[in-house]
Amino acid sequence: MNGWVAVAGLGPGAEALVTPEVSATLAEATDVIGYIPYVARVAPRDGLTLHASDNRVELDRATQALQLAANGARVVVVSSGDPGVFAMASAVFEALEAKPSYQHVDIRVLPGITAMLAAAARAGAPLGHDFCAINLSDNLKPWALIERRLRLAAQADFAMAFYNPRSASRPEGFSRTLDILREECEASRLITFARAVSTPQERLDTVTLSEATPEMADMRTVVILGNSTTRRVGRHIYTPRHAE
């Protein structure tokens, strides 16, 4: 039996936002590997083994997937959102680079709807012009690099989407982020806090940068800062497609 690895995005939360391609691939899988809450989103069935693990063992998960596939298993490595956005696709290729003996394994990356895009759609179109995404966690990169990217993106007038803004173990990071943005951007800039989009716990709040507080974000929140042209129209937030 020829094994394979599919790295799949489960979308932001709602079952309706899982792509048909991902659903069909999960139906063929013999093994599902991923972070505990993401594996919990996959329904158990006969012939399927679920491998759930902690969120700090990405390379171990990736290596396990390659090992299982090399032995003939059909493995789906699950992430939320899209697996190529701050998620498991990079980890799988990093593991592959470290283990050249697995380079014969068939690897596919299956796209998903990111939390950033789901949040933007709920708000309206705040990412309608040039934008960037920045992961505010300093677990895998130094804070100095995060600050540099924040300042340069603000100076370039990008709209920005922030992942992993504020955890219980590092609540000061998002406070520092807001301070930096206030130094670089006007106080009236619109900022949207989108929590648990597409789930029953969904909540959206849009305020000005001067009104934003660190407590408005947690690890289930995607934060979207508009650019200098982002505006309200009725209850919607959008960024015009033309530059001013």
- Is pTM beyond 0.95? Reply is no
pLDDT at 113: 96
Phi, psi of 108 (to 5 degrees): -130, 145
Give the E-state strand segments of the chain in sequence order. Answer: 4-9, 31-35, 49-53, 74-79, 106-110, 124-125, 131-135, 159-163, 190-195, 203-208, 221-225, 231-233, 236-238
Q: Is the separation of the CB atoms in 79 and 7 below 8 Å?
A: yes
pLDDT in tens, the chain (244 residues): 689 999 999 999 999 999 999 999 999 999 999 999 999 999 999 999 999 998 889 999 999 999 999 999 999 999 999 999 999 999 999 999 999 999 999 999 999 999 999 999 999 999 999 999 999 998 889 999 999 999 999 999 999 999 999 877 777 889 999 999 999 999 999 999 999 999 999 999 999 999 999 999 998 999 999 999 999 999 999 999 987 6
Find, among 39, 20, 26, 112, the residue nearest to 76 by Cα: 26
Q: Which two tokens stand for residue 197?
A: 């989009």
CA 241 → CA 14, 79, 189, 207, distances in Å?
A: 29, 31, 17, 22
pLDDT at 139: 84
pLDDT at 56: 82
Residue ranges covered by each domain of the chain: 4-113, 116-238
pLDDT at 175: 94
pLDDT at 76: 98
Q: Which fold, 116-238?
A: 3.30.950
Q: Is the separation of the CB atoms in 122 and 202 below 8 Å?
A: yes
Identical topology for domains 4-113 and 116-238: no
CATH superfamily of 4-113: Tetrapyrrole methylase, N-terminal domain (3.40.1010.10)
